[in-house]
Structure 1
Amino acid sequence: MNAQLKAPEAASDGRHTVDACFLGPYGENDTLLEKLVVEFLRDHVYWRRNFHPEDPPAISTAAAQHPEYLAFEARMRRELHQLSAALKKSVPFHSPRYIGHMASDLLLPGLAAQILTLPYNPNNVSEDAAPVTVELEVQVGLQLARMLGYVHDPARPDCAFGHLTSGGTVANYQALRLALALKAFPVALQAAGVPDIVLPEDAWGAFNLAPRESTLLVEQWQQWLAQASPADRRLWQARVREERIEQRGLADFFAAHPTLQVPKVLAPITAHYSWSKGCKLLGLGRAQLELLPERGMRVDTDALEETLERCLREQQPVLLAVAVMGTTEYGTVDPIDGVVAARERFAARGLGFGVHVDAAWGGYLATLFRNEDGSLRTRDEVASGFTAFPSPDVYAAVAALGDTDSVTVDPHKLGYLPYGAGAFICRDHRAVALLSEEADYVFHGDAPKDYLGRYRSLGQFIPEGSKSGAAVAGVYVTHKVLPLDHAHFGLLPAQTIRSAEAFHARALRFAEEMAGVVRAVVPFPPDSNLVCFALNPAGNRDVAAANAFVRRVHDELRCDPRQPLQNKQFFGSVTTLRPEALGEEETHRILDALGLDVATLDGEGGDKLMILRHTLMNPYLIDRENGISYIDLYFDHLAARLRALLAKG
């Protein structure tokens, strides 16, 4: 047995819970999944038969023997067999030999719940089409809100609200959409001349209220309308509607308020490209997305402060400041607490903006920071069982999540659930009223006063129309089986953090062992469960040559549908380090450690440095049952392949 592994009987608490969570790298839990699927498929059939048992079967038993029926069945089986054969070329996300992109094995509760729900085909656009799963979706929003530290009690007026999306990209669009509606609404009230509601004197002041102040105005407006006569209510609703940015459009809105500029979105240079797409789709324009420099691959809060000072001086409004919890490339965590503090300081000076956290990757790490009652654990409590996680900066960032205005989380990433299941969660549900849409054939009547009833016509508020209720069921059941706290769901990200720490330590040893063959550097210690690794053949000074070498390494690690999957021992991915993201000091540090000449960054393909990227999601990277470390096996394989590639020249 590998000396670094504990004997099975000494495995950590919760191991067997994890063992029951997945189908398994070897399909070990196939009997469990088969029992669940067959049991609930039969249950679905019984539901059909008992809906109106007086109705006779429409398909006779004799039909199954008809030549046309048999021919159709044969065609269907043939195509399904061909599909099944083709899918064997798929990326083996389930295997601990896969350490590439943000995907792994799927949780059985979510997989079974989604399969169970699919034959019912609920459409979560409204309660009319999904009377069960719409309510589950609202509950999922509250589950995630609790994980993040938002108010999650529907009896509270400031309760959070969340919903699922097809992925983090659409969730980020929703963040932009809500932030713009909330920012522009006080200006519409002001322009319409609504009486009895106290507003700033000018458009700049109205456009720069803090999100909490604007949200309270939404509530005051609704209360004002409720007290008005029916005739006055219709009159003032029409007046305010005509002044809203959603009605006028960007060009007309800003033409009507010439003292205002189109607001900027401030995001770190490592932000996902969905922010660029979102600014374009919303009509703000890519020019309004300002990317901020980084320090150690985390947004530079000093640069944020300087940018906000400039915006205030130039009367340039800011829509959102975006922080990232788990960057796509490196898994690093921005100083969310610093961004929140900047929001408070500048709101007091008359520059209001929202804070959104793109936690598409790292959101579920927050389970490690939550007690079973939802309260925040201390840093010492979280750190128990880890070598370095969480750093003081990471702890402060996660602890500040509850003070942000909205968050994106992807259940189909670290939630181990099927695609597509992203999620958008906002701190205060009252703001969501601004997104309401009307469609008489789907949505009926006035919005109910109670929290759940308000969102039974979910399609009024979300970017999508039709959307899968089956995906919702998968997320909801998973969160019920594995509550979002450290003692339950947290068992999974805890294992990934331990794997990342073991991988990091092994990478440092690898660098020492291979010093005469390659220079190997971990550019940034991991904040989460992504570890990057930079390589350069010993003696090489040229960045382009180093990039070509890493491409050759990656060619042996990437999925190639032209070859049998079994030809590959491990699967990995690559990313790049860009000088504009790193900054001059960090660029020199990393290139010097690799023995590369910074001047060669200007060569062919040398404007960035290509590096290996490892996503350590699989809970069986360290297989204690069989005494195998796939991390050790990977580095052994990598050493052999590097030597072979260099021998070829």
Structure 2
Amino acid sequence: MTADPARELVRAYFPGARSENGGRLRSEMDAILDHWFRWRSGRFDDSAPAGGLIAADAPARHGDRLGSRLLELCDALTAETPTFSPRYIAHMKADLSLPGLLGWFAAMLHNPNNSSRDASRVGSVIETEAIGALADMLGYDPLRAQGHFTSGGTVANFEAVWRARYRLDHWLALALHIAETTGETLDPFAAAHMGWERFRALRTAHAVSDDVLKSCSAAASNPGDVWRRISRSSGRDYLGPVMLAPGNRHYSWSKSANIFGLGAEAMWSVALDARGRLDLADFERLVDRAQAEGRPILMAVAVAGATETGAVDPLDRLYDRMDQWRAERGWRIWRHVDAAYGGFLRGMLDGPSEAALAPQTADALRAMGRSDSITIDPHKLGYVPYACGAFLTPDAEHYAVSAFDAPYLDRPELGDGKWSSTLEGSRSAAGAAATWLTAQTLGFGAEGLGALMAATVRARQAFEAAVRDAVPEARFLPVDSNIACFSLARPGEGLSLSNARTGAVFDHFQRSPHFAVSKTTLGADNAALIAGVLAGHDGRPDADAGMLVIRCVFMNPYWSESPVTQDLLPGFVDELRGALIAAEPARAA
């Protein structure tokens, strides 16, 4: 590799901010189309000739219409946000890689449906290999790991809830049957975390059949009746399981509590510490509360790359504590890491790229392989087209979930299909192919995508240093990745004044043709973080409970180019200073 691997990778595997690789991309897409045309025309010798299927004047009558409407569509799409540009630092979107584009395009032409091997004989194999490549990067054994591609992180998170419920429901159902037949008092919390080894031993000892187990299952029978029986066997009202997730969680977790019928109350929010990460002391407090109330923990969620700030929760210390509970108390609580954004940062480990990370962030990412399940979005830092998420588990036992019948898809001679174990029925192979080709070319390791991740972190560091030097009002949040968040506050002033100033500057950038940024408001879950930022400039909390911050996401690959940084950073700083000056009269008014 060269002294600057990220720059070489960007030049080799991305279109270029000004389409510098346009000719190469066009050539590769032409080659894909030529290959597809040859395959179609030569696939069957007895195919009907095209002239027998298409009227002679069809191209004249309809071809012109198609061409004009296609041009109309292309013209309309030019009004889309130019997220390919390094000037766009607003949200988790950037340019697509060449492997991502070409892999997606090649598979899309064949249109395989990864619901089964019958509908996707090649696409399903590509999916398995792509999942293996992701598993290897995330710390799982690629030969044992299981998973599949989804339409995004939201569905991948739902897949985790589904499997965690499957496991908890089995364990609790068995314990309920034993309590009802022996008269022993049921402890729902301990029973729901017993583990598969104890489950199998107890099931064998009590000779429990599938039908009996189903009759005690809230998922397989009547949940209202099962909860009533749990209440009777435990001697207290059973209020159902809870999920523990940090205050920086994605909105999909609240959706999951609604969709799976848990209720909003069952979503217990873990407080965040002064750096915006999951607070371990509060997590332990909530576990103690759940045990005291007899409410099983369906799953414990941690975040690697929070949507708002890019924060990485302390997975290593969290899992150390949960391992201790497992050893001392026999509790097996499902642990899921939502790494939709930050999962690819793990590619930085075990090489020179790791130096761009703080040691505690590297330790947290290294612990990811100890999770029971992982969500990751290749359509974010994997630079492949939407919509492409993935859900992974370390092995088949963790991947197991409720079985459903679909006789028209039952083709055992073709191998196992994913249709019975995915929430989505039809699933395109295009995202899997895009991820597969990215893994085969750019690569997910420290000298491939990991080097590019390191470049995005360094770009954020350079941005923060430049803004700090030129704008003393800038108050940056603690950071773990490539997202920079800052408010604009002066010493000793109240939060409402700094929020007004920050809001006015953001409004300027909303109108600016030069740069795109985003904003977010840190709420009550970030109380410790807000207090720490205010303390740094003797700021005062007042009528405003939340802190407004400007948010800049440095995932665009072209920030690895020195000319881009040297050109754009001074321009951004100048515009920020001008917006700050202009904001004062508006704020005073």
TM-score above 0.5, yes or no = yes
Q: Which residue of 2 aligns with 1:523?
A: 477
AA at the equivalent of 2:21: N
Contact 2:193 2:296 in 1 (8 A): no
Pairing 1:345–2:288 present: no
1:621-643 Cα offsets, whole Å, 9 max, x none, are 25335783422321122112322
CA distance in 2 between partners of 1:411 and 1:188 (Å): 37
Specify the alignment match of 1:149 in structure 2.
139
Change in 2 beyond 3 A, CA 1:444/1:238:
farther
- Within the candidate set 284, 303, 323, 1:324 is matched to 303
Q: How does 1:19-34 map to 2 (within 5 A)?
A: 19-34=11-26
- Which residue of 571, 575, 578 maps to 1:633? 571
Rounded to whole Å, the distance in 1 between the matches of 2:260 and 2:140 is 27
Of 530, 550, 559 in structure 2, the residue corresponding to residue 612 of structure 1 is: 550
1:622/1:629 contact within 8 Å kept: no
Offset from partner CA, 1:379-429 (integer Å, 9 cap, x none):
xx5544x3xx2x222122112111111111110111111111111111222
- CA displacement at 1:480 relative to structure 2: 1.5
CA drift at 1:16: 1.9
Structure 1: gaps spanning 5 or more residues:
1-9, 154-158, 194-199, 225-231, 370-376, 513-518, 561-566
User: Is residue 435 of structure 2 the alignment partner of residue 475 of structure 1?
Assistant: yes
* Aligned-partner Cα distance in 2 for 1:95–1:14: 17
Equivalent residues in 2 for 1:115-194 (5 A)? 115-153=105-143, 159-190=144-175
Query: How far does the alpha carbon of each residue in 1:331-360 deviate from its partner, in whole angstroms, 9 at most, with x for none?
Result: 111111122122223333254311111111
2:519 equivalent in structure 1 = 574
Instruction: State the match for 1:490 in structure 2.
Output: 450
Structure 1 residues 242, 314: closer, same or farther in 2, change over 3 A? closer
Give the secondary structure class of the aligned counterpart of 2:449: coil
Correspondence for 2:269: 291
Matches within 5 A, 1:25-64: 25-59=17-51, 63=55
CA distance 1:216–1:402, shift in 2 (3 Å): farther
* One-letter amino acid of the counterpart of residue 400, structure 2: A
Which residue of structure 1 aligns with residue 534 of structure 2?
591
Alignment CA distance shift 1:463-1:61 (3 Å):
closer
Map 1:416-431 → 2, pairs under 5 A: 416-431=383-398
Are the counterparts in 2 of residues 407 and 424 from structure 1 also a CA contact under 8 Å? Answer: yes
Is this contact kept in 2: 1:330–1:532, CA < 8 A? yes
Structure 1 CA distance for aligned equivalents of residues 225 and 409 of structure 2: 30
Q: Does 1:499 align with 2:478?
A: no
Q: Displacement of 1:314 after TM fit?
A: 2.9
The aligned residue for residue 532 of structure 1 is: 485
Q: Deviations over 1:437-465 (max 9, x none)?
A: 211112345xx9xxx94xx3111101101
Distance in 2, matches of 1:249 and 1:468, equals: 35
**Pairwise CA RMSD of aligned residues?**
2.9
Aligned partners of 2:148 and 2:390 also within 8 Å: yes
**C-alpha distance in structure 2 between counterparts of 1:470 and 1:216, whole Å:** 41
Distance 2:151 2:336 in 1: 19
> C-alpha displacement at 1:110, in angstroms?
1.3
Residue 241 (structure 2) aligns with = 263
Distance change (3 Å), C-alpha of 1:204 and 1:62: closer
Structure 2 partner of 1:301: 280
Partner residue in 1 for 2:407: 440
Output the CA distance in 2 between the equivalents of 1:150 and 1:256: 39
Task: Report what 1:564 is aligned to.
Answer: none
Structure 2 CA distance for aligned equivalents of residues 202 and 628 of structure 1: 66
Match 1:402 to one of 354, 369, 391: 369
Deviation (angstroms), 1:42:
1.1
SS of the aligned residue for 1:471 comes to: helix
Corresponding residue for residue 547 of structure 1: 499
Alpha-carbon separation, structure 2, partners of 1:217 and 1:350:
12
Distance across 1 between alignment mates of 2:501 and 2:200: 57
Distance 2:110 2:564 in 1: 41
C-alpha distance in structure 1 between counterparts of 2:579 and 2:560, whole Å: 22
The corresponding residue for 1:228 is: none
The residue identity in structure 2 corresponding to 1:532 is: C
Q: How does 1:175-324 map to 2 (within 5 A)?
A: 175-190=160-175, 202=186, 204=188, 207-209=191-193, 213-214=195-196, 236-258=209-231, 259=234, 260-295=238-273, 296-324=275-303
Percent sequence identity over aligned pairs: 31
1:245 is paired with a residue whose SS is coil
Q: Number of paired residues?
A: 574
- CA–CA distance in structure 2, aligned partners of residues 20 and 426 of structure 1: 32
Distance 1:33 1:161 in 2: 33
Q: Which residue of 2 aligns with 1:4?
A: none
Q: Would the aligned equivalents of 1:145 and 1:160 in 2 still touch at CA under 8 Å?
A: yes
AA aligned to 1:522 is F
Q: Where in structure 1 do 4 or more consecutive aligned residues deviate above 6 Å?
A: 218-221
Take 2:461 and 2:551, find their aligned partners in 1: how far apart are those partners? 15
Report the Cα distance in structure 1 between the residues aligned to 2:536 and 2:389, rounded to whole angstroms: 38
SS at match of 1:55: coil
CA contact (8 A) 1:208 1:350 kept: no
TM-score normalised per structure 2: 0.90
Q: Note the residue ranges of structure 2 that are not aligned, 5 or more in a row.
A: 179-183
Match of residue 181 from structure 2: none
- Report the CA distance between 1:310 and its aligned residue: 2.4
SS of 2:552's equivalent?
Answer: strand
Deviation sequence 1:159-204 (CA, Å, 0-9, x none):
22111111111111111110010111123345567xxxxxx99563
- Cα distance change of structure 1 residues 189 and 313 upon mapping to structure 2, 3 Å threshold: closer
Farther off after superposition, 134-143 or 182-191: 182-191
Deviation at 1:527, TM superposition (A): 0.5
Distance of 1:588 and 1:217 partners within structure 2: 46
Q: Following TM superposition, by how much is the alpha carbon of 1:508 offset from its aligned partner in structure 2, in angstroms?
A: 1.9
Residue pair 1:124, 1:458 contacting (<8 A) in 2 also: yes
